[in-house]
Structure 1
Amino acid sequence: MAHYDLIVIGSGTAAQVAIGQVRAAGWSVAVIDHRPFGGTCALRGCDPKKMLVSGEEAIDAAARMAGHGVGGDLAIDWPSLMAFKRSFTDPVPAKQERRYAKLGVDAFHGLARFASPDAVAVDGRTLQAQHILIATGAGPIPLGIPGEELVSTSDAFLELETLPRRIVLIGGGYVAAEFSHLAARAGAEVTILQRASRLLPHFDPDLVGWLTPRFTALGIRIETGTAVTRVERNGDGLQVRASRQGAPDLEVACDLVIHAAGRRPDLGSLDLSTGQVAVQDGRLQLDAHLRSISNPRVYAAGDAAGVGPPLTPVSSHDAKIVAANLLQGPSREPDYRGVPSVAFTVPPIAAVGLSEEAARRSGLKFRVNAASTPDWFTARRLAEPVYGHKVLIDERTDLVLGAHLVGPNADEVINLFGLAIRHGLTAADLRSTMFAYPTGASDIGYML
């Protein structure tokens, strides 16, 4: 039986960071994944999605500037855009294989499961380890409805060779917002069926309200307070049935249904009970050091840990914490202060720190600077009708408690507010900073 200092289950961001750090310390490592090496972000999430967004950004820019010095018709060529995406994603698994070989990491393809508290079985072999890191990411939450097998995942959407004419998205969060913008700009008829009372519930409601007209202008149909009850075949297409609060039931005909109703840690195939790894309500039971409370050999990081926000930078941060605890003893704890979050609609919407509602619940005394500002130069020069901000500042300390942005450059400028929150910069510190002008960052002083 092969023995390792560390076995890593999964090959995404958390796995890659942890492997690099423990190998640098001389540990023997094995990595296991039943999918192509590279993980969700590089292959099925952030990076390929953003490659596709580049296409719609170009289309949207041309549409906004029509009549302002730009002429001619542009359209998304979906197969070519997908080929552009694959120019990044296709080489990733082989690059990872080469990296593991260069580092001296043993790489295994197959579905991993615990064979004992200190061993993992894969592809007919059993590997023993001093420590095991669960970095399996997340998967779609089961919908629990008839016809669920007819519903495609976000993974499948990112591999579509041709774009269906009619698309229904179940859910109204990040994935639904991003994919609806992309698909609509590429020519599809898009419907969002959202169980919650509003779209993008993780973002400030005022800013979502400012962004919503962009959905409407694209012809995207949004049905909130709507619970999908069944999906069934209808000739060559599909029929989605849903119930609505205080309204008649809804039926939508389409060619593709996408699951965008949330994700949870992907743990189902691991046989955690054999590994004596405690789990409750589908989540690993971890201590403050990201270590299993029931099996101290086992750690978790990223979406599989389910502790911090489900974002790629959190996966990287978790992995560094786990690596330090493995190498130096369990003393480090993750710190999720000032982690920005972005929905890459066009334009994007972004947030960091406390929401206004959470700040009020906390009892803090703070001032709110909020405005819809499409007349500011940053928006005017791009002919962008959506631009606005909401910034929360502690009255006593002058610290930034939260920042919420929508419009051009929101995905970049939010990082400066994240820097302020994480490192204790005050509103006065930000106001006294001289940013390059005219840039999105140069608006920060006016947002405070």
Structure 2
Amino acid sequence: MTESNFQYDVLYLGSGHGAFNGAIPLAQKGFKLGIIEAGKIGGTCPNRGCNAKISLDIPVKIKDAVDAMQGRGLEGTTKINWKANVQHEKDVIASLPNAIETNLKSVGIDIIHGYGKLTDAHTIEVDGHKYTADKIVIATGAHYNKLDIPGIDLAHDGTEFLELEDQPKRMTVIGGGYIAMEFATVAATSGTEVTILLHHDKALRRFYQPFVEELLNDLTAKGVKIIKNVTPQSIEKNADGYVVKTDQGEIASDWILDATGRIPNVDGIGLDKVGVEYDNRKGIKVNDHLQTSVDSIYASGDVLDKKVGKLTPTAIFEGLYLTKLFSGVTSDAIDYPAVPSAVFTSPRIAEIGVTPDEAKANPDKYDIKEVNLADDWFRFALRQNEGHTITIFDKKGYLVGMTEISSEADTAVGSILPFIELKVSPEKMDDFITLFPTIESETKHHL
């Protein structure tokens, strides 16, 4: 479709979900596209994030289910083989980069391997070669933060955890976000002695705190030691492994995970040179069309400074929005739907839409319904009936939010997405027939 002097209609810097999910349908519309990638095709999620994480978690979830049914139809619990689990995870993700690259090439997208830097509003340089495009999309993602204390090089990040073939006897986790809680769950369920260091008195601060406290209590019951309001000061190696020195004492460890967050990849890609505005911690600033301060340059995915969650589904949504924008399907501003999020611990916490805290702060706007899942017969049959569901309705009875803690919270929240996004009336909800018996049918019953 290119009729100018540019080599490409659109050039993507980065190959993650913020790029390839939108690039494929755009290429199918006849646009000439290129994707520049310095690492593995597919970015974080397929190679060292979501796909790998959930692969490690599947045996954890199965073990929890088997343990719950002991004496209730099953005899003989099971044990996670750490080395085999990590190998299983590697097997699952090994083919993904080539599969994604094959799909991209099949629709005529050029893959340019190497580290790209912007040199002007229409040009990216890779290993001395310059590539030009009418429009550029920055989709460089994010990387792990590194705590600024002496000895931090002795610690490891989430990518290294996913590749850890030898199970540590003692593991210290610094941080209280998704990665900290999820990887602590995997390690503790596998038999590792886990200590979690929280800088404040809360973990998972974006989630409903009473549910988070339930999760922390469950981790404690599994043998995890949780230390709140603690400040790591240094890490040292000794004859027995490592020691994390804090303002509350010393923690002996064999392996240390620095899970103190992720930072957008904005350094070293030429943003200053071409005048793209950004914040080192929050990311690239864009308008409501995902356009940066340079008209020809856009951004999507985790590199964005945005209010919605930095999640794979929002990156995909942004990439597909840009496809519609560039192809003339829409000229409207991006309009995010209700975005679900979940932490894949045991139990899980998942949420979408209006939160319990927001609803409680606005009783004139919302009604709240809470269900104790101990009363759910299907969960009881699964012996997974610990947990709670909170649903939020507006004053007309429309479902506008849900938060749940349970072993099936992700499935439950996912099942009510259409009711919220399509603004299904209370009367119309009764017209939906679900499969029975399933988590979905019980979730709908509780609305």
For normalisation by structure 2, the TM-score amounts to 0.93
**In structure 2, what residue type is equivalent to 1:74?**
T
Structure 2 residue aligned with 1:122, among 116, 120, 126? 126
Q: Return the offset for 1:364.
A: 4.5
**In structure 2, what residue type is equivalent to 1:289?**
H
What is residue 217 of structure 1 aligned with on the other side? 221
What is residue 309 of structure 2 aligned with on the other side? 309
Distance of 2:48 and 2:260 partners within structure 1: 16
Change in CA separation of 1:435 and 1:40 when aligned onto 2, cut-off 3 Å: same
1:199·1:224 contact (CA, 8 Å) conserved in 2? no
Q: Return the offset for 1:401.
A: 2.5
Distance of 2:326 and 2:267 partners within structure 1: 25
Structure 2 residue aligned with 1:237, among 237, 241, 252? 241
**In structure 1, what residue type is equivalent to 2:423?**
G
What is residue 373 of structure 2 aligned with on the other side? 373
- What aligned pairs does 1:65-144 form with structure 2 within 5 A after superposition? 65-144=69-148
Aligned residue pairs total 441
Give CA-to-partner distance per residue, 1:402-444, whole Å, 9 cap, x none. Answer: 2011113211120133222211124444355332222112223
Is it true that 1:326 corresponds to 2:326 in the alignment? Answer: yes
For normalisation by structure 1, the TM-score amounts to 0.93
Q: Return the offset for 1:207.
A: 2.0
Where structure 1 has 5 or more consecutive residues not aligned to the other structure, the ranges are 244-248
1:393·1:427 contact (CA, 8 Å) conserved in 2? no
Structure 1 stretch displaced more, 275-284 or 5-14: 275-284
**In structure 2, what residue type is equivalent to 1:435?**
T
**In structure 1, what residue type is equivalent to 2:164?**
L
- What aligned pairs does 1:354-365 form with structure 2 within 5 A after superposition? 354-361=354-361, 364-365=364-365
Change in CA separation of 1:143 and 1:431 when aligned onto 2, cut-off 3 Å: farther
Change in CA separation of 1:363 and 1:328 when aligned onto 2, cut-off 3 Å: farther
Identity of paired residues, percent? 29
**In structure 2, what residue type is equivalent to 1:406?**
I
What is residue 388 of structure 1 aligned with on the other side? 388
Q: Return the offset for 1:75.
A: 1.0
Distance of 1:332 and 1:240 partners within structure 2: 51
RMSD: 2.1
Is it true that 1:198 corresponds to 2:202 in the alignment? Answer: yes
**In structure 2, what residue type is equivalent to 1:374?**
A
**In structure 2, what residue type is equivalent to 1:389?**
T
What is residue 8 of structure 1 aligned with on the other side? 12
Distance of 1:96 and 1:329 partners within structure 2: 25
Structure 1 stretch displaced more, 1-10 or 14-23: 1-10
What is residue 416 of structure 2 aligned with on the other side? 417
Is it true that 1:208 corresponds to 2:212 in the alignment? Answer: yes
Give CA-to-partner distance per residue, 1:131-170, whole Å, 9 cap, x none. Answer: 1111111112342222222221111111111121111111
What is residue 403 of structure 2 aligned with on the other side? 404
Distance of 1:152 and 1:271 partners within structure 2: 28
Distance of 1:240 and 1:113 partners within structure 2: 38
Change in CA separation of 1:133 and 1:76 when aligned onto 2, cut-off 3 Å: same
Partner SS for 2:273: coil
What is residue 262 of structure 1 aligned with on the other side? 261
1:52·1:82 contact (CA, 8 Å) conserved in 2? yes
What is residue 278 of structure 2 aligned with on the other side? 279
What is residue 176 of structure 1 aligned with on the other side? 180
Distance of 1:373 and 1:301 partners within structure 2: 38
**In structure 2, what residue type is equivalent to 1:314?**
T
What is residue 344 of structure 2 aligned with on the other side? 344
2:20·2:104 contact (CA, 8 Å) conserved in 1? no
Is it true that 1:48 corresponds to 2:52 in the alignment? Answer: yes
1:408·1:440 contact (CA, 8 Å) conserved in 2? no
Partner SS for 2:371: strand
Structure 1 stretch displaced more, 402-411 or 436-445: 436-445
What is residue 246 of structure 1 aligned with on the other side? none
Partner SS for 2:416: helix
Q: Return the offset for 1:372.
A: 2.8
Give CA-to-partner distance per residue, 1:114-138, whole Å, 9 cap, x none. Answer: 1222211112212111111111111
Structure 1 stretch displaced more, 13-22 or 436-445: 436-445
Distance of 1:275 and 1:364 partners within structure 2: 49
What is residue 33 of structure 1 aligned with on the other side? 37
Change in CA separation of 1:230 and 1:354 when aligned onto 2, cut-off 3 Å: farther
Is it true that 1:443 corresponds to 2:447 in the alignment? Answer: no
Give CA-to-partner distance per residue, 1:294-330, whole Å, 9 cap, x none. Answer: 2111111111123231111111100011122222287
2:6·2:134 contact (CA, 8 Å) conserved in 1? no
Change in CA separation of 1:432 and 1:98 when aligned onto 2, cut-off 3 Å: closer
Change in CA separation of 1:316 and 1:19 when aligned onto 2, cut-off 3 Å: same
2:376·2:385 contact (CA, 8 Å) conserved in 1? no
Distance of 2:373 and 2:127 partners within structure 1: 58
Change in CA separation of 1:387 and 1:426 when aligned onto 2, cut-off 3 Å: farther
Partner SS for 1:126: strand
Change in CA separation of 1:360 and 1:66 when aligned onto 2, cut-off 3 Å: closer
**In structure 2, what residue type is equivalent to 1:42?**
P
Partner SS for 2:133: strand
Structure 1 stretch displaced more, 126-135 or 258-267: 258-267
Distance of 1:55 and 1:70 partners within structure 2: 17
Partner SS for 1:381: helix
**In structure 2, what residue type is equivalent to 1:322?**
L
What is residue 65 of structure 2 aligned with on the other side? 61
Change in CA separation of 1:2 and 1:365 when aligned onto 2, cut-off 3 Å: closer
**In structure 2, what residue type is equivalent to 1:56?**
V
1:109·1:123 contact (CA, 8 Å) conserved in 2? no
2:16·2:43 contact (CA, 8 Å) conserved in 1? yes
Change in CA separation of 1:193 and 1:431 when aligned onto 2, cut-off 3 Å: farther
1:239·1:252 contact (CA, 8 Å) conserved in 2? yes
